[in-house]
Amino acid sequence: MARIAIVTGGTRGIGEAISLALKEAGATVVANYAGNDERAREFSDRTGIKAYRWDVGDYDACQEGVAKVQEEVGPVDILVNNAGITRDGTILKMTHDMWDEVIRVNLGGCFNMAKAVFPGMRERKWGRIVNIGSINGQGGQYGQVNYAAAKSGIHGFTKALAQEGAKAGVTVNALAPGYIDTDMVAAVPADVLEKIVAKVPVGRLGSAQEIARGVAFLCAEEAGFVTGSTLSMNGGQHMY
């Protein structure tokens, strides 16, 4: 019987690639999204993957959204916490709302979603949770104290939750992408992008499909001995 997976922020960019990779690996995939109904409909029509709308930063919405998925599709075996936002600015210009919103969605979303699926995974003695961190959570980034803090927090969250799931067959890992060729990065001015690529030893941006293959590995039946780990996929830009 196919494993059932939820990918948050799963209808575009890296999330879309992850949804497709898990489907290809044999999972029944559900993609969560935050707001773009038209894009979600287009994604579902094109891929055959159901899309459900809720805000991962809203605890009650996550409980209700997961309950609906479990009622309509089945118990969730795999969770990929991919949803994330940016509200960039130096701390001199960053408002409290900019800080709060990024922490609420990027880090709070991981807690909210894990809280909704973890008990069932433990009961069934099998589960895979993969949290998408970032190179900027590992090495920091100018103008991103909110984003770097949230993504760094994901790595600690992953290690702690991995310890709670290990004996019950639930693995919890993180994947930290570097700069990936997505819409978000495409919005960066060309001269800035050139400087970013110059710092990547392999000399290019990564692809969403490369990140998706890493996630698919961490979600596989054969990955049961990998837990509490962070897989860095950044072209050698940050090594530690």
Q: Catalogue all structural domains in the chain, each as residue range(s) with its CATH number.
A: 4-233 (3.40.50.720)
The one catalytic residue among 33, 52, 147, 179: 147
Q: Taking a C-beta distance cutoff of 8 angstroms, is the pair 224, 169 a contact?
A: yes
- CA pair distance 107, 109, nearest whole angstrom: 5
Check residue 196 and give its pLDDT: 87
Look up the pTM and report it: 0.95
- 147 a catalytic residue: yes
- CA pair distance 238, 62, nearest whole angstrom: 33
Judged by DSSP in three states, 22 sits in helix
pLDDT digits (tens, 9 = 90+) for 34-89: 988 999 999 999 999 999 999 999 999 999 999 999 999 999 999 999 999 889 99
**Residue 116 above 90 pLDDT?**
yes
- CA pair distance 229, 6, nearest whole angstrom: 20
Check residue 122 and give its pLDDT: 98
**Residue 161 above 80 pLDDT?**
yes
Taking the alpha carbons at both ends of the chain, their separation in whole angstroms is 39
**Residue 193 above 90 pLDDT?**
no
**Residue 224 above 80 pLDDT?**
yes
Q: Taking a C-beta distance cutoff of 8 angstroms, is the pair 71, 77 a contact?
A: no
Residue 156 main-chain phi, psi, to 5 deg: -70, -40
- CA pair distance 150, 137, nearest whole angstrom: 7
Average pLDDT over residues 24-38: 96
E strands, 90-225, in order = 127-132, 170-177
